[in-house]
Structure 1
Amino acid sequence: MSIKPHLVITAAFDRTRVEELRGHFTVHMVVPSIAGESLSDRGIDELLDIAEVIITELDRVDEATLAKTANLRAVVSCRANPVNVDVAACTSRSIPVLTTPARNAEVTADLAFTLLLMTVRQSSQAERWLRAGNWSADDVFAPYSLFRGIQLSGRTLGILGGGAVGRGVLKRARGFGMSVIVYDPFLPEDAFGDEARVAPLDEVLASSDIITLHVPLMDETVGLLGARELSLIRPDAYLINAARAALIDEEALVKAVTNHELAGVGLDVFWQEPVSSDHPLFSSDIVTATPHIAGASDDVIREHSRIAAEGIAEWREGRRPETLKNPEVWSA
Structure 2
Amino acid sequence: MTNASPRARLLITAPFDPAAAERLTDLFDVETVEPSMAGDSLARPELAERLAAADAVVCEVDKLDEAALAAAPALKFVVSCRANPVNVDLPACTRRGIPVAATPARNAEITADLAFTLILSTVRHTGEAERWMREGNWKADDLFEPYVRFRGIGLGGRTLGILGGGAIGRRVMRRALAFGMKVLVHDPFLAQGAFGDDAEVVALDDLMSRSDVVTVHVPLNASTVGLVGSEQIALMRPDAYFVNAGRAAVVDEAALMTALREKRIAGAGLDVFWNEPPDADCELFRLDNVTLTPHIGGASDDVVTEHSRIAEQALRAWATGGQPAAVANARELASS
TM over 0.5: yes
Q: Please, which of 19, 24, 45 is the counterpart of residue 22 of structure 2? A: 19
Write the letter of the residue equivalent to 1:48. Answer: L
Structure-to-structure mapping, 1:118-197, within 5 angstroms: 118-197=121-200
Please tell me whether the aligned partners of residues 61 and 86 of structure 1 are also in contact (alpha carbons under 8 angstroms): yes
The structure, 1 or 2, with the larger RCO (C-alpha pairs under 8 Å, 6+ apart) is: 2
Please tell me whether the aligned partners of residues 96 and 330 of structure 1 are also in contact (alpha carbons under 8 angstroms): no
TM-score (norm 1): 0.97
SS of 2:242's partner is strand
Q: Counterparts of 2:111 and 2:212 in 1: how far apart (Å)?
A: 21
Q: Which residue number corresponds to residue 269 of structure 1?
A: 272
TM-score (norm 2): 0.96
Q: Quickly say closer, same or farther: Cα 1:42–1:101, change in 2 above 3 A.
A: farther
Q: Deviations over 1:190-218 (max 9, x none)?
A: 11111111100000000011100001111
Q: Which residue number corresponds to residue 322 of structure 1?
A: 325
- Bigger CA drift: 213-222 or 34-43? 34-43
Residue 101 (structure 1) aligned with residue 110 (structure 2): no
Q: Quickly say closer, same or farther: Cα 1:135–1:308, change in 2 above 3 A.
A: same
Q: Please, which of 241, 245, 252 is the counterpart of residue 242 of structure 1? A: 245
Q: Deviations over 1:15-46 (max 9, x none)?
A: 11001111110001111111111111242221
Q: Which residue number corresponds to residue 47 of structure 1?
A: 50
Write the letter of the residue equivalent to 1:282. Answer: F
Please tell me whether the aligned partners of residues 257 and 281 of structure 1 are also in contact (alpha carbons under 8 angstroms): no
Q: Counterparts of 2:15 and 2:278 in 1: how far apart (Å)?
A: 26
Please tell me whether the aligned partners of residues 27 and 319 of structure 2 are also in contact (alpha carbons under 8 angstroms): no
Q: CA deviation at 1:322?
A: 1.6
Q: Deviations over 1:216-247 (max 9, x none)?
A: 11122111111111000000111000011111
Q: CA deviation at 1:283?
A: 1.5
Please tell me whether the aligned partners of residues 6 and 27 of structure 2 are also in contact (alpha carbons under 8 angstroms): no
Write the letter of the residue equivalent to 1:144. Answer: Y
Q: Which residue number corresponds to residue 278 of structure 1?
A: 281
Please tell me whether the aligned partners of residues 11 and 50 of structure 2 are also in contact (alpha carbons under 8 angstroms): yes
Write the letter of the residue equivalent to 2:10. Answer: L
Q: CA deviation at 1:3?
A: 6.0
Please tell me whether the aligned partners of residues 320 and 330 of structure 1 are also in contact (alpha carbons under 8 angstroms): no
SS of 2:55's partner is strand
- Bigger CA drift: 296-305 or 320-329? 320-329
Q: Deviations over 1:76-99 (max 9, x none)?
A: 100011111111111111111000
- Bigger CA drift: 107-116 or 35-44? 35-44
Q: Which residue number corresponds to residue 313 of structure 1?
A: 316
| Consecutive aligned runs of 4 or more in structure 1 exceeding 6 Å deviation | none
Q: Counterparts of 2:310 and 2:130 in 1: how far apart (Å)?
A: 39
Task: Output the aligned Cα RMSD.
Answer: 1.2
Q: Counterparts of 1:208 and 1:289 in 2: how far apart (Å)?
A: 21
Q: Counterparts of 2:297 and 2:87 in 1: how far apart (Å)?
A: 20
Please tell me whether the aligned partners of residues 212 and 240 of structure 2 are also in contact (alpha carbons under 8 angstroms): yes
Q: Which residue number corresponds to residue 72 of structure 2?
A: 69
Q: Deviations over 1:58-79 (max 9, x none)?
A: 1111111111222111011000
Q: Quickly say closer, same or farther: Cα 1:249–1:331, change in 2 above 3 A.
A: closer
Q: Which residue number corresponds to residue 7 of structure 1?
A: 10
Q: Please, which of 229, 233, 243 is the counterpart of residue 232 of structure 2? A: 229
Please tell me whether the aligned partners of residues 41 and 64 of structure 2 are also in contact (alpha carbons under 8 angstroms): yes
Q: Deviations over 1:248-276 (max 9, x none)?
A: 11111111111100111100111111112
Residue 290 (structure 1) aligned with residue 302 (structure 2): no
Q: Counterparts of 1:144 and 1:6 in 2: how far apart (Å)?
A: 61
Q: Quickly say closer, same or farther: Cα 1:36–1:42, change in 2 above 3 A.
A: farther
Q: Counterparts of 2:78 and 2:334 in 1: how far apart (Å)?
A: 14
Unaligned 5+ runs, structure 1: none
Write the letter of the residue equivalent to 2:252. Answer: D
Q: CA deviation at 1:278?
A: 2.0
